[in-house]
Structure 1
Amino acid sequence: MHKIIEKIFGWLYPLLRKMSFGDTLASYISLVLNIIILCVLAYLIYVVFRLVLVTIMAVVAKKTKTHFDDLLVSNQTAKYIAHLIPFLFIYKSVLVILDAYVYWETVFGKLVGIYIILLSLWIVRSLLKAIRDYLKDQPKYSDKPIDSYIQVIMIVLWIVGVGVIISKIFDITTNTLFGTLGAISAIVILIFRDTILGFVASVQVSLNDMVRIGDWITFDKYGADGDVIEINLATVKVRNFDNTTTTIPTYSLISDSFRNWRGMLDSDGRRIKRYILVKAKSIRFLNDDDLQKMKRIQLISHYIDVRQEEINKYNKTYKVDKSLSINGRNMTNFGLFRKYITNYLEHYPGINKNMILLCRQLQPTPHGMPLEIYVFSKDQRFEQYEYIMADIFDHIIASIAYFDLEIYEMPTDRMTLEE
């Protein structure tokens, strides 16, 4: 290679000397003409290699079934390689053209060498981006933080590249440079603190399978409530349900508490846990007339018959004085309402009957007696889940009056005046 370059640029100076040009003038003229020839040849090499590489890669990408070569084309890998080849030629030629000009040979040699290093990094980056895009299209890796790993590799390569550039500029060995950097590693760690924390966090997140792309997470500290769309080395991006985007530091996923809804979405149901407050003074014992009236409610008519027979048998056996309702065993409107809601939920098509199905009392409060529904909807989608829950409580609120019960409401000035 060196001999070929000497033949290309070494013939002009002797020719000028034969043409009776002075040594200095011949040297300057040959220098200018050689630079022009170098620029023309470098441009021709670039055009040829760009045409050949880009065309070949485009043709291969169309004919092959694999998607990876298409990603190489879209990330302009061939274009960067086509840029690199003429600069390698320039780097070798500068040593010949500027052989008599030591200072300028050193300056231009360093500048071209630095640009070659940067081009090499861009080529590697385009390859890594193609690998990243290819892995993201694979179902096996679509939920993995590929961006984090690519960023770590690029950071390491940039550190090495910058180290080589510095060593080239100041004419020191790379080993000496990195040895010096090792001595000031505390400063380096301080500068790259967030990057190091993010890398450690992204590795732990991936190994422990804490978060995947597409997971629905809730992070109250950062106001995030939506789907994870990107996991990078330093940040995790969440698209909230109001279409805003929240950026969370990656290391916060292991240092703070957040909620991942993946388990719920992968399960057979989504929990509905909500209660209403019933006025305690509206709860009472039921007499025979009340029971006859409530037997018209189909979901509990059979239950009332069975339960009433059992209670009458008990009271008769123990000769209970029923002149007072409090004596013996009785049914209450609240207990009957709970049974009605339980039966209603068992017949509701949107409820998963294979999971917990419960209608229960909670601890009494100053505002009334809480009646809680604890069930699981079959459909975990947000819209359908909200519809099912609203439909159930619409029915509960509308049906409570049939049991002579009242829902607690905070008194207003108007209500106070009416009372």
Structure 2
Amino acid sequence: MFNVYLIQALEKIGLDGAGLDLAALLLTLLSVLILIGFSFYLSRQLLLPLLSRLIDHLEGDTLDATQDERPKLASHIAHLVPAILLINFVEFFFSSWHAWELWANKITWLYLYLFIGLTFTSLIDLLTAIYALKFQNSNLPYRVITQLVKLITFIVIGILSVSLLVGSSPAFLLSGLGALTAVLLLVFRDTLLGLVASVQVAANRMVAKGDWIEMPKYGANGNVIEVALTTVKVRNWDNTVTTFPTYALISDSFINWRAMQESGGRRIKRAIQLDIHTIRFVDDEELKKFKNNPFLSRFFEEQTYVDLNQADLTNSALFRAYIEWTLRQHPLINQNLMVMARQMQPTEVGLPIEVYCFSADKNWVNYERIQSDIFDRLLAVLPLFDLMAFQRLGNKGQVVG
């Protein structure tokens, strides 16, 4: 063995006793460090470029999406070479020093365990980045799964490391964890709750990346950008990011607008408050005046929503019919869903006439524009039916609301 030849060489130069043993040990340690450094240098200079070229054998968007994960994986694999090499040479170097051999063996194995775990998790990160690119609309909670796999990996590495240090079987170590169950549950409370919540969220398709959700308790109102094992991140409409626990998705209420986005339209539900004092019956002369108005003539020619010959015809009934006729003519209102103009319960602020329909365009900006255009038109046409919208007056008669 190496130390035998080393001691013989030192004896030839005149060393003996304690000085011989100390010198042999120091030279052995120096040789081990040189071996580690040389093997690490070779792995970095030869193996690392080779691994990088193999891992870089990707194209287009995949290459860009994994620019952080690829070098990390190659670097961790390169670290395995010195550890594997040293494991095979521990006995060769330290056979004459049992204690040093024991600790060198343990340290080497710990180093190997660490980089096996890091290599495996880096590989998971690489595969996750590729999956996220290839399946951008996937409802599979892949981030939760990958975080769980990485957590289990490091738990296993930790158990193996502790069992190596104490010199006992991992099975014996696991058998003693029963007494620590309560502590482990406390330490990993959020992780365990997040795991259960993630399974339920994925199984019931409650939330997926890209969904628009509202969660007032946490101030979240925007698109989900990440559903992880312990946290959910939401990018709000003001570009702030709200983070809350994953288990809050099953313990608290929230609104998910995905169903609206997947449906045929986005609901418009808004009312105009009519001043009750302006509602009255319409006689033949007034009806003729309405029909002759250029803004209403087409409505009276095409409408079938109210009987113009009834004796108790009111201007509010004509206005409701006009609303429904307008909605039925609108090219951006989904006619396959509910279209309605209804009268609500009168209140101290007037008689609400509610518009209920669905915009075919679900984009927020376009939706607001369509809704505003409809109500601009309805408010502008009110005086043509001799109606007024209610406005509360102040003490001196000024309009205050």
TM-score by length of 2: 0.90
> Which position in structure 2 is the counterpart of 1:105?
101
Residue 122 of structure 2 is aligned to residue 129 of structure 1: no
Residue 385 of structure 2 is aligned to residue 403 of structure 1: yes
After TM superposition, the structure 1 stretch with the greater mean CA deviation from structure 2, 196-205 or 359-368, is 359-368
Distance apart, 1:187 and its partner CA? 2.4
Residue 216 of structure 2 is aligned to residue 220 of structure 1: yes
Q: Deviations over 1:120-153 (max 9, x none)?
A: 2111110111121111112276443211111111
> Which position in structure 1 is the counterpart of 2:166?
170
The one-letter code of the counterpart of 1:301 is: F
The one-letter code of the counterpart of 1:198 is: G
> Which position in structure 2 is the counterpart of 1:334?
316
The one-letter code of the counterpart of 2:341 is: C
> Does structure 2 conserve the Cα–Cα contact (< 8 Å) formed by 1:236 and 1:249?
yes
Q: Deviations over 1:179-229 (max 9, x none)?
A: 111343232122211111100111111111111100001112211110000
Aligned partner of 2:77 among 56, 78, 81: 81
Distance apart, 1:89 and its partner CA? 2.5
Distance 1:362 1:330 in 2: 20
Distance 1:417 1:273 in 2: 25
Aligned partner of 1:361 among 337, 343, 346: 343
Give me the CA root mean square deviation.
Answer: 2.6
Which consecutive residues of structure 2, in runs of 5 or more, have no partner in the other structure? none
The one-letter code of the counterpart of 1:53 is: L
Aligned partner of 2:155 among 144, 156, 159: 159
> Which position in structure 1 is the counterpart of 2:42?
48
Distance 1:153 1:366, change over 3 A: same
Distance apart, 1:163 and its partner CA? 1.7
**Aligned residue runs from structure 1 range 2-17, under 5 A:** 6=1, 10-17=4-11
| SS of corresponding position for 2:10 | helix
Distance apart, 1:308 and its partner CA? 6.5
Distance 2:18 2:93 in 1: 15
- % identical equivalent positions: 34
Distance apart, 1:173 and its partner CA? 2.1
The one-letter code of the counterpart of 2:50 is: I
Distance apart, 1:299 and its partner CA? 3.3
Distance 1:194 1:30, change over 3 A: same
**Aligned residue runs from structure 1 range 230-309, under 5 A:** 230-295=226-291, 296=293, 297-302=296-301
Which consecutive residues of structure 1, in runs of 5 or more, have no partner in the other structure? 1-5, 312-328
Q: Deviations over 1:79-133 (max 9, x none)?
A: 1121121123234434443333333433343333322222221111101111211
Distance 1:75 1:212, change over 3 A: farther
After TM superposition, the structure 1 stretch with the greater mean CA deviation from structure 2, 233-242 or 141-150, is 141-150
The one-letter code of the counterpart of 1:219 is: M
The one-letter code of the counterpart of 1:366 is: E
Aligned length: 395
Q: Deviations over 1:153-187 (max 9, x none)?
A: 12112222222222222223211111111343232
> Does structure 1 conserve the Cα–Cα contact (< 8 Å) formed by 2:280 and 2:315?
yes
Distance 1:361 1:49, change over 3 A: same
Q: Deviations over 1:3-58 (max 9, x none)?
A: xxx4x554222222244431433332222222222222221211222223322233
After TM superposition, the structure 1 stretch with the greater mean CA deviation from structure 2, 231-240 or 178-187, is 178-187
> Which position in structure 2 is the counterpart of 1:187?
183
Distance 1:32 1:417 in 2: 95
Distance apart, 1:61 and its partner CA? 4.1
Distance apart, 1:64 and its partner CA? 5.1
Distance apart, 1:245 and its partner CA? 0.9
Distance apart, 1:270 and its partner CA? 0.6
> Does structure 2 conserve the Cα–Cα contact (< 8 Å) formed by 1:72 and 1:78?
no
> Does structure 1 conserve the Cα–Cα contact (< 8 Å) formed by 2:303 and 2:325?
no
> Does structure 1 conserve the Cα–Cα contact (< 8 Å) formed by 2:139 and 2:205?
no
Distance apart, 1:354 and its partner CA? 2.0
Residue 211 of structure 2 is aligned to residue 229 of structure 1: no
